Amino acid sequence: MRQQGKYYRIGEASRVTGVEPHVLRYWEKEFREIRPHRVGRQRLYREADLEVIKKIKALLYDEGMTIAGAKKKLRNTGRIKGDLPRKKTAEVAPILHQIQHELKTILEILDRPK
């Protein structure tokens, strides 16, 4: 198995983020943005996971949000990439339509008799 970047076990992730291990396990169930890699029963968190955990901690503890509110905030801001807002469906639809058209054209070319 090829691993890129540093991985943190749950105890290390807890120390780095200041969030107790049992809370990390709970948040993993509640927030789809936290998905540690698993080797057997061992959770391995990446730097990106730790950043999400820190963001969730700030939303819940510093800003006083509920879990539902924090989930909504994370959905609206995107995952980590500088917290850029996600593209609206209306903005993406024309691009997807163009890609679909181009793929159909490629299939037609490939299906032509030789």
pLDDT in tens, the chain (114 residues): 344 578 999 999 999 999 999 999 999 999 988 989 988 889 999 999 999 999 999 999 999 999 999 999 988 875 444 444 555 667 777 888 889 999 999 999 998 887
Residue 39 maps to a domain: yes
> What is residue 103's predicted lDDT score, i.e. its pLDDT?
92
> What is residue 49's predicted lDDT score, i.e. its pLDDT?
92
User: Residue 17, class by beta-carbon neighbours within 10 Å (0-12 exposed, 13-18 middle, 19+ buried)?
Assistant: buried
H or E element that contains 8: strand 8-9
Report the candidate in 48, 37, 46, 41 with the shortest Cα–Cα distance to residue 7: 46
Q: How many domains does the chain have?
A: 1
Residue 113 maps to a domain: no
Residue 76, domain extent: 8-86
Query: What's the whole-model pTM score?
Result: 0.62
